[in-house]
Amino acid sequence: RKEVEQDPGPFNVPEGATVAFNCTYSNSASQSFFWYRQDCRKEPKLLMSVYSSGNEDGRFTAQLNRASQYISLLIRDSKLSDSATYLCVVATGNQFYFGTGTSLTVIP
């Protein structure tokens, strides 16, 4: 069983739409959770950390459900510039486990 699983998509949504990504993880002892964004042929960059209480950064909301072992990312009012691959990342000890990424294309 993979440590982290996420739907690869692709998600094609119109500008202004709301889109949500989910990710599940297998190790209940996992300690930290993140969403990274990766543009085509670039390195992954931290989008936001995910806390148990949920957190919001502008149009982006991340949530963690420890009981069900999943994390989510909600993007409201999608912009063309949101088109990218979104990676779910789970840290256990000093090891980081990456999902394969969910591809998002925002269409004009």
If the CB atoms of residues 31 and 81 are measured against other proteins, the closer one turns out to be 31
We find the least distance from the C-beta atom of residue 18 to other proteins, in angstroms, to be 26
Of the two residues 63 and 101, which places its CB atom closer to other proteins in the complex? Answer: 101
Footprint on this chain of other proteins (rule: CB under 8 A): 8, 31-32, 34, 41-46, 49, 87, 89, 91-96, 98-101
Distance in Å, CB of 69 to other proteins, minimum: 17
Three-state SS for 12-39 is EEECCCCEEEEEEECCCCCCEEEEEEEC
Q: For the CB of residue 21, give the shortest distance to other proteins in the complex, in Å.
A: 14
Q: Which is nearer to other proteins, 11 or 78 (CB)?
A: 11
Question: Which amino acid belongs to residue 95?
Answer: Q
- Minimum distance from residue 32 beta carbon to other proteins (Å): 4
Write the CA distances from 93 to 25, 33, 41, 45, 108, integer angstroms. Answer: 14, 12, 29, 21, 42
CB closer to other proteins out of 52 and 95: 95
Burial profile 12-42: b = 16 or more Cβ within 10 angstroms, e = fewer:
ebeeeeebebebbbeeeebeebbbbbbeeee
